[in-house]
Structure 1
Amino acid sequence: MARPSKPLISRATAVAASIEIIDSEGLDAFSLPRLAKHLGVRAPSLYHHFSDKSEILSAVAQHIAGAIAIPRRKPGPDWPEYFVALSSNLRRSILKHRNAAPILLQYLPRDLLIGSYEETARFLEASNVPTRLHVQILDGMERLTLGAVLTEAMRKPSTKSTIFPNVDPESQPLLTRALAENEMTSKQLFEEMVRSFLYGVMRNETVD
């Protein structure tokens, strides 16, 4: 079937529709015919903007990762809080689209949004973080954030009482007590994990 001479839809419309399908029906339900049907066009219309399904999924990943708000924080000694806020914003964006979360493992933010990593490296430099630590921080932050958030996204929405599901008070009394005494939400635990990593990097730098 020939491609229409003029595009019937925009690239942004196709990406938004793709996310709608994945959100409501799941990643396995997504296909070019399904997307075309959702948009009320024939599949060849999609090829004005995308070469194949892979390119659409890449655009979906870029939209989810690129839609986060950039923290308004000046460079300085409390620079780790910039990353805490940035990671928290990415977590929120991914959890809004849980079914699409696995796409970010195939299309990593560093591959889609490398310009933003340059900006972040500039922020680190302005905060007097040694350049030799930048890759450790940037690489570690992406791995840590995606690993934690995708694990959370694959489960049902977590609450404090389901951080460790299926705990039996009789056979796991220590874990049961730890859960009872935990006062942090999943979001707070995530943010503290990020802080621990970043301040740990700087602490090791000081010790060395």
Structure 2
Amino acid sequence: MPRPSKPLISRASAVAASIEIIDTEGLEAFSLPRLAKHLGVRAPSLYHHFSDKSEILSAVARQIAGAGSIPRRKPGPDWPEYFVSIALNFRQSILRHRNAAPILLQYLPRDLLIGTYEETARFLEASGVPARMHVQILDGMERLSLGAALTEAMRGPSTRSTIFPNVDPESQPTLAHALAENELTSKKLYEEMVRSFLYGVMRDEADATARSA
């Protein structure tokens, strides 16, 4: 389809409008005609900035995945806390746009934000983390944080007692007791899960180094 001679909208406004539609009406409601109507233009105007719907959704995923700020922290032995902060920011961004969360399964952060991964790899290097561990950490962080945040987004808000829904105290007494004893919110469970993974990687590396000494 030929592109109009003069753009009527900006790329940023189209992405913002796409997110607004998905947030309010759901992902299934999103289409190029719907976006054009929302922006008050004809669909061909979108082709100044995007080749097709897939490119728009990719830009939406990039916007959401990259919306969380990168924390300011000096490299050092407490480097896992840097990644915990990144993971919490990432979770907050996804939960702010729950309807758009499934897009991130198709357009993974590592494919859209490779510059951010380079930055975090440099942080690991400056913190003294061996290069052989970087892929394990970066790959594990994406899989863990993305999976957990998307699951929470799709499930909807929960309280400490409803993290496992539909538990019957009579037929699942042990699980019901565990829920009653749980003091962690969904956010805190997520945070501690990420922290456990990172400090576990540190511990395993230290153990391996000690065995080889």
Please tell me the TM-score bracket, short chain as reference. Answer: over 0.9
Could you tell me how far apart the structure 1 residues matched to 2:160 and 2:137 are? 28
Q: Is the 8 A contact 2:21 2:30 kept in 1?
A: yes
Number of aligned residue pairs:
208
CA apart distance, 1:2: 5.5
CA RMSD of aligned residues (A): 0.9
Once the two structures are superposed, residues 155-184 of structure 1 have per-residue CA deviations (whole angstroms, 9 ceiling, x without a partner) of: 121221210000000011111111111111
Offset from partner CA, 1:118-167 (integer Å, 9 cap, x none) = 00000001111111000000000000001000011001212212100000
Partner of 2:177: 177
| 8 Å contact from structure 2 (residues 4, 47) kept in 1 | no
CA distance in structure 2 between the partners assigned to 1:4 and 1:27 by the alignment: 27
Structure 1 counterpart of 2:211? none
Matching of residue 158 in structure 1 with residue 162 in structure 2:
no
For structure 1, the 5+ residue unaligned runs are none
Q: What's 1:8 paired with? A: 8
Structure 1 segments, 4+ long, off by >4 Å, are: none
- CA separation in 2, counterparts of 1:49 and 1:158? 39
- The alpha carbon displacement at 1:5 in A equals 1.2
Query: Identity of aligned pairs, percent?
Result: 84
- Report the Cα offset of residue 99 of structure 1: 0.4
Q: What's the secondary structure of 2:184's corresponding residue?
A: coil
TM-score norm. by structure 2 comes to 0.96
Structure 2 Cα separation of the partners of residues 200 and 2 of structure 1: 54
Unmatched 5+ stretches in structure 2:
209-213
User: Deviation at 1:110?
Assistant: 0.5
Tell me what 1:120 maps to: 120
Whether 1:133 and 2:139 are equivalent positions in the alignment is no
Normalised by the length of structure 1, the TM-score is 0.98
1:72 & 1:167 partners in 2: Cα distance? Answer: 41
| Alpha-carbon separation, structure 2, partners of 1:159 and 1:62 | 30
